[in-house]
Structure 1
Amino acid sequence: MNFFVSEAIASADTSSQSSPYSLMVMIVLFGLIFYFMILRPQQKRAKVHKKLMSSISKGDEVLTTGGLVGRVVKITDSGYIAIALNDVYEVVIKRDFVTAILPKGTIKAL
């Protein structure tokens, strides 16, 4: 049994010399993969969502992240909007929680 351990230790002693640039190349490669797979798509989604937030106007039919569908009744400068769910109920939410602006007539179709 001891001879297996000594062979493992002996084989571990043989170290190979690698170039110092290989580590830098690998770090740059992982950085590029991280940028193109994670950061860039997230930045695009954030840009599209910001454009959606700025295009909300009174009378639009919207869908919220909570699943509420309603018509925008009031828009404030502080970033809140009032949504009429039906003739009786009105909800005030932050503008950031709007997921999509729906086509006109969607509420009636539901």
Structure 2
Amino acid sequence: MANPYAGEVAIVLDGQRHVAKLTLGTLAELEAALEAGSLMELVERFETRAFTTRDVLALVVAGLRGGGWQGTAADLRTAEIAGGPVAAARVAAELLARAFQLPGEA
């Protein structure tokens, strides 16, 4: 089970449940991959619903890798995500929110 207090989010790929979370290392990789000026710019895109599918894909891959998954973006492109693109976008948004949530915040 995913532990939201540890920043974890559950996602189902090809019928298999995975735990995703953003670590400091995956956040740094994410920032470089998206060529964002800062991660706050990425957070702002999600808050204003101006995110792209590239943002969602990169966040989900980073979260999965932070949870120990050994796949790549190419692997995720061919995987079936339970709930489809909408669920993937929710997972991406939750990953970002939990990564920057202070202890005790709901």
Q: Identify whether the pair has TM-score above 0.5, normalized to the shorter chain.
A: no
TM-score tier after normalising by the smaller chain length: under 0.3
| TM-score where L is the length of structure 2 | 0.22
From the two aligned structures, give the one with the greater helix fraction: 2
Greater share of residues in strand: 1
- Larger Rg: 1 or 2? 1
Of structures 1 and 2, the one scoring higher in RCO (CA 8 A, sep 6+) is 2
